[in-house]
Amino acid sequence: MHDIKKLAAAVCVVAMMALSACGSLNPVSRAETASQKTYALYGTFVVFEEQAAQIAQDSNVSLEVKRSLAAADAVAKPVMDKSVDLALTVDGIREDLAEGNSTEELLVIATENLMKWYLDAVPKVQALVAAVRGVRK
């Protein structure tokens, strides 16, 4: 019995090592433009959303945990989806501008609006990441 407990403790250590390695990666920090940053944040969100979905499908996970993951996702997803819509708008305006069919001022306004939603989405995505990592510990 004690051997199994020691093994379980070792598993926790190994899992935390794996997670800390995971945490050292930050795709958002690699991005430069507003659209790239939004894409990187959205991609990170999707990676953890998919992990949450897989955890939620495991029969060993309690309903309470599944609901906490779903709740964190439900908070982040609408804001993230809106950010994506705005990023597409920004990209559209940029293309129009290149063809002489829009203005620099419009691009600035749209980009600022995108960044507002992006900054609003960051803590919500972080909350989902924390929820997923909390289940694993």
Partner 1 sequence: MSVAWNVLAAMLRALGLLATDPAWGTKGEAIARFLALGALALERGEAGRADLEKLAAHIDTMVAQGREPTEGEWADLRARSDAAHAILQEAAKGDPTPEPESPADDSEGGTKD
Distance CA 42, CA 76 (A): 10
Site string for partner 1, 39-78 (x = CB under 8 A): xx-xxxxxxxxxxxxxxxxx-xx-x--xx-xxx-xx--x-
Contacts 24+ apart (CB under 8 A), 15-19: 15/136, 15/137, 16/137, 19/133, 19/136, 19/137
CA distance 41 to 35: 10
Whether 6 and 127 have beta carbons less than 8 Å apart is answered as no
Q: State the minimum distance, in angstroms, from the CB of residue 122 to partner 1.
A: 16
Q: Measured from the CB atom, is 26 or 103 closer to partner 1?
A: 26
- 108 scored as a contact of partner 1 (CB under 8 A): no
- Residues in the site for partner 1, rule: CB under 8 A? 1, 4-5, 7-8, 11-12, 14-15, 18-19, 21-22, 25-27, 30-33, 35-36, 39-40, 42-58, 60-61, 63, 66-67, 69-71, 73-74, 77, 80-81, 84, 87-88, 91, 94, 132, 136-137
